[in-house]
Amino acid sequence: MSLWLEAPVPDSAVQPWEPEALGTSSQAQGGSSCILSKKARMPPSAGNPVAMGLEAAEPTALLPRVEALPEPTELRPQKRKKGPAPKMLGHELCSVCGDKASGFHYNVLSCEGCKGFFRRSVIKGAHYVCHGGGHCPMDTYMRRKCQECRLRKCRQAGMREECVLSEEQIRLKKLKRQEEEQAQATSVPPRAVSPPQVLPQLSPEQLGMIKKLVTAQQQCNKRSFSDQLRVTPWPMAPDPQSREARQQRFAHFTELAIVSVQEIVDFAKQLPGFLQLSQEDQIALLKTSAIEVMLLETSRRYNPGSESITFLKDFSYNREDFAKAGLQVEFINPIFEFSKAMNELQLNDAEFALLIAISIFSADRPNVQDQLQVEKLQHTTGSCSQGC
């Protein structure tokens, strides 16, 4: 709790008094204005004399106006001002021990240590005894040696016991705040729920294209599984760091990549309109889209439970396996992060097949000659995805 004090000044704080003329006055003749020089003095009980110079055009102006003086705080209780504590500059010191202050606690700028000490003392109703006569100088060292003088200094600095809340009060205050937040949340009118988006109906031709793409992809995967026996096996040598083992792991991954590229070529040949493109455009599209399509295929094989990727049905690899095959971390991490993100989308076979087809039919690929025709093929394929 952070508080500070503001003492309002009542009107009764100023007693009426009369100025005492210490100089001579000049009388005005013919009703003209006169200038008077006076020295005003407060009565002895009000404090030191206050010098004032007055200029008046009328006799009633002889009485000076006096600003109200605040009463001593020890004679009149101060009132707490609620609100945020003044902004700290960062170099303020604790008013009790001189340590670095952390804020205004129980009405006083203090450190965390003195804040906790005062709170514990008030809650427990502790009574301490000073063994040094009750006049121990309070600093960061003595605050641990003399608790009585420390508590006295806390009170002298202005810490207020009524600001300390017990555990039960804190619990009730927290419970009340939660109830208010809950009531506020329930009182907010519910937002208008937009009607679910109606997906466009696909034509029989579009449904047939989707079915054809899914079937083509499944057939390509089956052919890839048949190539599994031709892939160099993962090395099981006693020394996994040997030159031979490293070369065998690299050959294993290289052959897996070759199988994946062949799978992409087989799938592209079954895309409607692909074989009608020129041979140059076919090669350009396959060369430039192979990496993207391989990443999409890799994400389909990602297992979030084991954080591994499975190739050819039986080959599963984690990040460490990729590193053992010679791939750099800068290349491995993006593969797994992309695969994880795609896996969270939970795409079905039709959506994956359409996404791969759209990626292949990208008219902005380098060296593509008939960009208009490629763009039409991509549009035709993309229109099917709107109904998935």
For residue 104, what are the domain limits? 90-180
The tally of domains found in the chain comes to: 2
For the chain, how are helix, strand and coil distributed in percent, rounded to 5? Answer: 50, 5, 45
Same domain? For 372 and 309 the reply is yes
The yes-or-no verdict on residue 30 having pLDDT over 80 is no
Q: What is the pLDDT of residue 211?
A: 92
Number of helical H runs and strand E runs in the chain: 10, 7
User: Which of 130-144, 180-194, 249-263, 276-290 has the highest mean predicted lDDT (pLDDT)?
Assistant: 276-290
pLDDT digits (tens, 9 = 90+) for 144-182: 899 999 999 999 999 988 888 877 777 888 888 888 887
CA dist 257 and 253 (Å) reads 6
Q: Which pLDDT score is estimated for 15?
A: 43
Q: How many other C-beta atoms lie within 10 A of the C-beta of residue 238?
A: 6
Whole-number Å distance between alpha carbons of 185 and 114: 38
Establish if 216 belongs to a structural domain: yes
Residues 141 and 270 both lie in one domain = no
CATH code at position 353: 1.10.565.10
- Tokens 């952390």 appear where? 102
Both 342 and 374 in a single domain?
yes
Number of residues that this document lists for the chain: 388
Whether the pLDDT of residue 58 is over 70: the answer is no
The answer to whether 81 and 6 are in contact (CB under 8 A) is yes
Please tell me the distance from the alpha carbon of residue 349 to that of residue 41, in angstroms, as a whole number: 98
Are 307 and 319 in contact, with CB atoms under 8 Å apart?
yes
One domain for residues 174 and 209: no
Confidence of residue 129 (pLDDT cuts 50, 70, 90): very high
Q: What is the CATH number of the domain that holds 163?
A: 3.30.50.10
Answer whether 147's CB lies under 8 Å from 96's CB. Answer: no
Alpha-helix runs per DSSP H in the chain = 112-124, 147-157, 167-187, 204-226, 243-269, 279-300, 319-324, 329-345, 349-360, 371-385
Q: Which of 86-90, 124-128, 313-317 has the highest mean pLDDT?
A: 124-128
Q: pLDDT confidence of 87, banded at 50, 70, 90?
A: low
Using 50, 70 and 90 to split pLDDT, how confident is the model at 29? Answer: very low
The per-residue pLDDT of the chain, averaged, comes to 76
Same domain (yes/no): 128, 208:
no
pTM metric for this prediction? 0.47
pLDDT of 247? 84
How far apart, in whole angstroms, are the C-alpha atoms of residue 341 and residue 81? 53
d(CA 321, CA 235): 11
Q: What is the pLDDT of residue 266?
A: 93
d(CA 232, CA 251): 7
For 106, phi then psi, to 5°, come to: 55, 40
